[in-house]
Each structure stands twice: as C-alpha cells, then as structure tokens.
C-alpha cells in the first residue's frame, strides 16, 4: 500500500496526541500504542496499491497547494468489523482541490475509501474499539473544533515501511 498523507502543525499534532493518550489511559486501543517512528497524526489524502508518478513528480506538483488550514471537527466512529475512532477534518474547497490534484498527479487508482466522491478526511485516533464501548470512548473526545495547519505532504510506503517528505 502507498499513501499520500498530510502532516499537522505542532499544536494540532499535540491535540491529537493528547486524545490518543486519553484513550490509552482509559484502557482503550489507541494510535499511541503504535510506537513506530513513522506513526504521527495525519490525514490520508490518497491510498493506492501503486503510485505511478514518482515522489519527484508528486511533491513539486502539489507544493503550491500547501500550507493549508485544517479544522478538526467532531469525533466519529466508523463502523465495520473493527470500529475506528477518528476526528473528522472539516472539508473546504482547498482540501478538495488538494485531493483532486493528488489523484490526478499521482496517476493512482485510489482505494475505495480515498476515491473522489467517497473520501472522508479524518485523523485516526484508535482502531479495534469494542462495539459495546464506542459510546464510552467517544465521551472522552467531546471537544470538537481545533484550527490548525497542514504544511507537509509525505509519501508512506507500507512495503518499505518508510516515509518520504514531498513538500
């Protein structure tokens, strides 16, 4: 899997990490449990099996769209086999333009959840929340609305387990 990810400014990163910690301290699964050096709060702009364009093509083509404001919205539980808790990112024209450009420039065939018209920008807080405890977990995350900035776009290569900063 290949992904293009927006990284958050230091203050917004700290807000998300505080939510990761609150979940962990209350006995819930949390992204804080993932201690890999590439684990950071981010918004996945695009995920695909393969990125036909190179990093040297993607970065310069998207650099003019950054930095951009981001607003963290309410917490949400994505249903499924493994319930995922996330903080929605409020969609605005600039974010949609970045997404459209990332799809076009990368030449990728996005996964269904990052395809145009289906993409829900968010920052993941936790995976594998037990269905019976979703309400308790969401209650820890009741303060929506944080204005921040995303200035860095990176390429996450899950096969090589490495990130490359593109902007």
Mean pLDDT score of the chain: 94
For the chain, percent of residues with pLDDT exceeding 90: 89
Residue range 17-28: mean pLDDT, rounded: 96
Q: What is the pLDDT of residue 120?
A: 96
Residue range 67-76: mean pLDDT, rounded: 96
Q: What is the pLDDT of residue 72?
A: 96
Q: For the full predicted model, state whether its pTM sits above 0.85.
A: yes
- DSSP notation for 110-167: B-GGGSTTT---EEEEEEEE-GGGHHHHHHTT----EEEEEEEEEEEETTTTEEEE--
Higher per-residue pLDDT: 82 or 8:
8
Count how many domains the chain has. Answer: 1
pLDDT in tens, 97-156: 999 999 999 999 999 999 999 999 999 999 999 999 999 999 999 777 899 999 999 999
- Domain CATH number, residue 77: 3.90.1140.10
45: containing domain: 2-165
SS3 6: strand
**Both structure tokens of 135:** 């309400």
- DSSP notation for 134-145: HHHHHHTT----
């Amino acid at each position: 899997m290949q992904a293009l990810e927006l990284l958050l400014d230091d203050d917004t990163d700290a807000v998300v990490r505080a939510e990761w910690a609150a979940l962990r301290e209350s006995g819930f699964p949390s992204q804080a449990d993932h201690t890999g050096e590439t684990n950071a709060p981010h918004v996945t702009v695009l995920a695909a099996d393969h990125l036909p364009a190179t990093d040297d093509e993607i970065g310069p083509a998207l650099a003019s769209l950054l930095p951009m404001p981001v607003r963290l919205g309410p917490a949400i539980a994505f249903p499924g086999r493994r319930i995922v808790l996330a903080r929605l990112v409020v969609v605005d024209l600039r974010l949609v333009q970045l997404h459209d450009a990332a799809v076009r420039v990368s030449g990728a065939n996005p996964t269904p959840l990052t395809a145009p018209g289906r993409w829900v920008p968010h920052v993941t807080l936790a995976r594998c929340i037990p269905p019976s405890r979703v309400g308790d977990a969401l209650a820890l995350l009741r303060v929506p609305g944080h204005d921040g900035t995303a200035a860095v776009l990176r390429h996450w290569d899950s096969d090589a387990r490495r990130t490359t900063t593109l902007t």
